[in-house]
Amino acid sequence: MQLTRPDLARVLERAVAVEPVADVGWLAAPPPRSRVLRRRVALELGASLTDTADALFGWAVHRGAGLTIAPSGPVALGVTVVQAVRVGPLWFTAPCRVVDVVRGPDEAGFTYATLPHHPETGVESFRVLRDGDGLVFEIHAAARHDFWGSRIVPPAAHRVQDRVTAGYLAAARDLSRGSRPGTR
């Protein structure tokens, strides 16, 4: 947490050298005291799974959600990304590592796990899926509060997480319409 915009390149440089503090198994069996979140949104009828997945793998959904990000590359197994979010006058950084990637004819997406110095400890999955005649974008997360402020005031931490999640969903919906995120 800091008052000035963080130097994401520097945070990324440190983050690539550390290991995740959670694993993909948390989605199936969340540890005690975890907050589990699962949200989905229908995408534009006629949206392309390939095009939407390409945008997701290029971090467009994260940028469209209003996050400032510094990835070590496009989404691939082992890629590290540092995200920054501003909450009032404060900036928080959230380093993560991609721990699972799926790219098939009916589903594409990835899961990342938090790294040390992330406000939460957990995993989050982002998927574009065929659902009947259309596509849906789904987020599934399991996390515990790691930052002292989140542990003291969990409702505030939940509001920030919910705001970012709503941003992901809106960005995915906008991308499926062929518009730039945030230009609804």
Task: Report how far residue 39's alpha carbon sits from residue 27's, in angstroms, rounded to the nearest whole number.
Answer: 13
Number of Cβ atoms within 10 Å of the Cβ of 101: 16
153 vs 162, higher pLDDT: 162
Kindly compute the dihedral angle of the four CA atoms of residues 23, 148, 2, 116, in this order, to the nearest 10 degrees: -20
**Angle of CA points 73, 17, 152, to nearest 5°:** 95
pLDDT tens column, 5-27: 889 999 999 999 999 989 999 99
Task: Report how far residue 144's alpha carbon sits from residue 98's, in angstroms, rounded to the nearest whole number.
Answer: 18
pLDDT tens column, 131-140: 888 999 999 9
The architecture in CATH of the region 8-176 reads 2-Layer Sandwich (3.30)
Largest separation between any pair of C-alpha atoms in the chain: 47
Percent pLDDT > 90 in the chain is 70
Contact 71, 57 (CB under 8 A): no
Helix (H, G, I), strand (E, B) or coil at 172: helix
Whether pLDDT at 64 is above 60: yes
Query: For 31-45, 53-67, 80-94, 149-163, which range has the lowest pLDDT when averaged over its residues?
Result: 149-163
Task: Report how far residue 126's alpha carbon sits from residue 110's, in angstroms, rounded to the nearest whole number.
Answer: 6
For the chain, state the CA radius of gyration.
16
Contact 13, 106 (CB under 8 A): no
Residue 159: what pLDDT? 83
The pair of three-digit structure tokens given for residue 37, joined into one six-digit string: 């979140």
**CB burial of residue 104 (10 Å; 0-12, 13-18, 19+):** exposed
Residue 181: what pLDDT? 54
Q: Give residue limits of the domains in the chain.
A: 8-176
